[in-house]
C-alpha cells in the first residue's frame, strides 16, 4: 500500500490541478494579443501564484482525506527535512541542485501521490529554511510536485535498467523544470522591445519562439548542471537509497508500487 493513497477523487483533483497549473505557467501563450491580462504582465504571475497556492491546498487536503496515517506523515516529514537540508548544499551554483534526486527516488518507491506531496512540502520547507519565500515559491512547489508525481508513474524496472531509467528521468525532468519555472518571470524579466521579451501583441507562436530563445540564452547551462547533478547522484547513490527506502517501506507496512507489480507479474 502506498503511503499516500490516490483514490478516484484524488486522481480527478490531480488532473484538474495539473491543468490549472499548466494554465498558470503558460498563460502568456493563451491570452489573445492585446487582451487585458496580456497587458498586465507584472501582475499576472502574482495572481496565478495565489491560484497555485489555493489549488495546492485543496489538492493536499484531498490527498489527506484519501489516507495519510501517522507513519506516512512521519516518513514525509523526515524526507522533506532531508531534502530541505540538501538543497542549500548545492545552492544552485552552476546549476548544481541537490534537492531533486531524492525526490525522484522517493516518488519511485512510494508512488505518485507521495511524490507529489513530497515535492510540495520539500520546497516549502526549504524556502522557510533559506528565506526563499516569494511570488516564485508556488511555481517552484508545483514544479517539484510534478517531478515527484512523474517519478511515481514511471514504468516498472529493476536492477541496473531501473537506475538508467531514473537517471534518464532525472535529466529530462531537470530541463523540463527549468523550462517551466522560467515562465513564471519571463513576461516581465526583460521589459519590452527585445527579441527575447514577451510581447503582449504577438501571437502565441511568436511568443513561444521568443521564450525558447530566452530559455536557451539564460537557463540552458543552468539546467544542464541540474541534469548532470541528477544523473550522477542517481547513478552513484541510487541503488543504496532505493534499497533503504524500500526497507523503510516494508518496516512501515507500506508496499512499493513497483515491488507490488513485480510480485503480481
How many of the other CB atoms lie within 10 Å of CB of 140? 24
Residue 157 has what DSSP assignment? -
Question: What grid cell was written down for 142?
Answer: 508545483
CA-closest candidate to residue 112, choices 140, 145, 143, 80: 145
pLDDT at residue 59, rounded to an integer: 57
Residue 257 half-sphere exposure, CB side, CA atoms within 13 Å?
23
Instruction: Scan for cell 508496499, then name that residue.
Output: 255
Quick count: other Cβ atoms within 10 Å of Cβ 194?
13
pLDDT tens digits for 216-237? Answer: 988 888 899 899 999 999 999 9
Q: What is the pLDDT of residue 173?
A: 94
Mean pLDDT of the chain: 78
What is the residue extent of each domain of the chain? Answer: 8-264
Indicate the pLDDT class of residue 262, thresholds 50, 70 and 90.
very low
Distance from CA of residue 153 to its chain's centroid? 13
- Average pLDDT of 87-109? 78
- Is 101 or 184 the better-scoring residue by pLDDT? 101
State pLDDT tens for residues 28-46. Answer: 787 665 554 544 445 555 5
Residue among 92, 122, 233 at smallest CA distance from 171? 233
DSSP string, 172-187: HHHHHHHHHHHTTTGG
Residue 237 Cα to chain centre, angstroms: 20
Proportion of the chain above pLDDT 70, given as a percent = 72
Asked if CATH classification 2.60.40.10 holds for the domain at 8-264, the reply, yes or no, is: no
Amino acid at each position: 500500500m502506498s503511503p499516500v493513497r490516490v483514490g478516484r477523487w484524488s486522481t480527478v483533483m490531480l488532473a484538474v490541478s495539473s491543468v490549472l497549473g499548466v494554465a498558470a505557467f503558460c498563460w502568456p501563450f493563451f491570452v489573445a494579443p492585446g487582451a487585458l491580462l496580456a497587458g498586465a504582465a507584472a501582475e499576472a504571475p502574482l495572481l496565478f501564484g495565489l491560484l497555485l497556492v489555493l489549488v495546492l491546498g485543496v489538492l493536499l487536503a484531498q490527498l489527506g482525506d484519501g489516507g495519510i496515517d501517522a507513519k506516512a506523515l512521519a516518513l514525509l516529514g523526515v524526507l522533506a527535512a532531508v531534502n530541505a537540508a540538501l538543497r542549500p548544499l548545492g545552492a544552485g551554483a552552476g546549476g548544481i541542485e541537490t534537492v531533486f534526486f531524492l525526490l525522484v527516488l522517493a516518488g519511485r518507491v512510494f508512488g505518485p501521490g507521495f511524490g507529489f506531496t513530497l515535492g510540495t512540502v520539500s520546497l516549502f520547507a526549504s524556502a522557510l529554511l533559506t528565506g526563499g519565500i516569494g511570488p516564485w515559491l508556488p511555481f517552484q512547489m508545483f514544479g517539484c510536485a510534478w517531478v515527484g508525481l512523474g517519478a511515481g508513474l514511471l514504468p516498472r524496472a529493476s536492477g541496473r535498467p531501473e537506475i538508467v531509467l531514473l537517471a534518464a528521468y532525472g535529466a529530462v525532468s531537470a530541463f523540463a523544470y527549468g523550462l517551466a519555472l522560467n515562465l513564471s518571470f519571463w513576461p516581465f524579466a526583460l521589459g519590452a522591445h527585445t527579441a527575447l521579451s514577451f510581447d503582449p501583441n504577438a501571437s502565441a507562436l511568436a511568443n513561444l519562439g521568443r521564450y525558447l530563445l530566452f530559455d536557451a540564452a539564460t537557463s540552458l547551462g543552468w539546467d544542464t548542471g541540474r541534469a548532470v547533478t541528477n544523473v550522477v547522484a542517481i547513478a552513484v547513490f541510487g541503488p543504496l537509497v532505493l534499497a533503504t527506502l524500500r526497507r523503510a517501506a516494508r518496516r512501515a507496512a507500506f508496499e512499493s508500487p513497483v515491488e507490488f507489480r513485480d510480485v503480481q507479474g
